[in-house]
Amino acid sequence: MSGKASNPSTRLPSRLNLGVLVSGRGSTLQALIDACAAPDYPARIVLVLSNVAGAAALERAAKAGIATAVVEHKTFPSREAFDEAMRARLVAAGADLVCLAGFMRLLSPAFVEAFAGRLINIHPSLLPAFPGLHVHENVLASGVRFTGCSVHFVNAEMDAGPIIVQAAVPVDPSDTAESLGARVLGAEHQCYPLAVRWIAEGRVRIKGVRVEVDGAAAAAAPLINPQPTSSISAKK
């Protein structure tokens, strides 16, 4: 690459530095990598940190030329010591915003406090419903007509904190956990880059349990599921 003009980071000096925490396959990380590749995207990833050596997410980061680090929780005497090691790596990398992207460890209150207002997570349900693991199985077992995904600021509880954006995904009676999870994942890949963009643009404010987003309004129409099929409508 030659000349300053061709370097996106010099065109956008105010790009937000992201530290991304991963544990697994990294498809959510990939959505952020792809978003950051656009010259006008207001964020860039400065570090991908995993608690699992060999996580596929690390390969995705390396392929994109992003710095990676492995901090294995197994090698620390306590959660606090592990979190402190992660905190130090994120600070050293200059992370402004920490994005959990399939990071499957509970964080200690000290870590959450260290990044208060600068720590976000994505979860594959309409929180506060269905936190934790086995989300799509639990959704199907409950009979709800909608599920979705949530991007939220992180507090000291699991999958909890002020919600920035959600996407609703209709549940179909023929769904399996795999088919439903795949549709939710598609929504996740849209929502996470969007939330990060809004934060980087300075449009997001936490107001108690709620989040205000400048320049974004509630969707106007209710989404109804199920809908009458054309064959039934024709008989009427």
> Which residues are known catalytic residues?
123
CA angle 133, 172, 167 (to 5 degrees): 60
The residue (of 29 and 139) whose beta carbon lies closer to ligand GAR is: 29
Ramachandran quadrant class, 159 (left: phi over 0; alpha: psi -120 to 50; beta: rest): left
Start-to-end Cα distance in the chain? 65
Among 15, 44, 87, 123, binds ligand GAR (CB under 6 A): 123
3-class DSSP state for residue 202?
A: coil
Interacting span for ligand GAR (CB under 6 A) from 23-31, 73-81, 109-117, 224-232:
23-31
> Is residue 166 near ligand GAR by the rule CB under 6 A?
no
> Is residue 112 near ligand GAR by the rule CB under 6 A?
no
The residue (of 114 and 160) whose beta carbon lies closer to ligand GAR is: 160
3-class DSSP state for residue 32?
A: helix
Asked whether 196 and 43 are in contact (CB, 8 A), the reply is: yes
Q: Which residue has the closest beta carbon to ligand GAR?
A: 102
Asked whether 152 and 133 are in contact (CB, 8 A), the reply is: no
75: DSSP letter = G
3-class DSSP state for residue 6?
A: helix
The residue (of 122 and 171) whose beta carbon lies closer to ligand GAR is: 122
Q: What are the residues whose beta carbons fall under 8 Å from the beta carbon of 135, sequence distance 6 or more?
A: 123, 124, 125, 147, 181
> Is residue 102 near ligand GAR by the rule CB under 6 A?
yes
The residue (of 31 and 46) whose beta carbon lies closer to ligand GAR is: 31
> Is residue 162 near ligand GAR by the rule CB under 6 A?
no
> Is residue 8 near ligand GAR by the rule CB under 6 A?
no
Among 17, 27, 138, 190, binds ligand GAR (CB under 6 A): 27
> Is residue 188 near ligand GAR by the rule CB under 6 A?
yes
Partners of 210 in the β-ladder: 207
Q: Tell me the closest approach of the beta carbon of residue 10 to ligand GAR, in angstroms.
A: 30
Q: What is the contact surface with ligand GAR in residues (CB under 6 A)?
A: 24-29, 57, 101-102, 122-124, 159, 185, 188
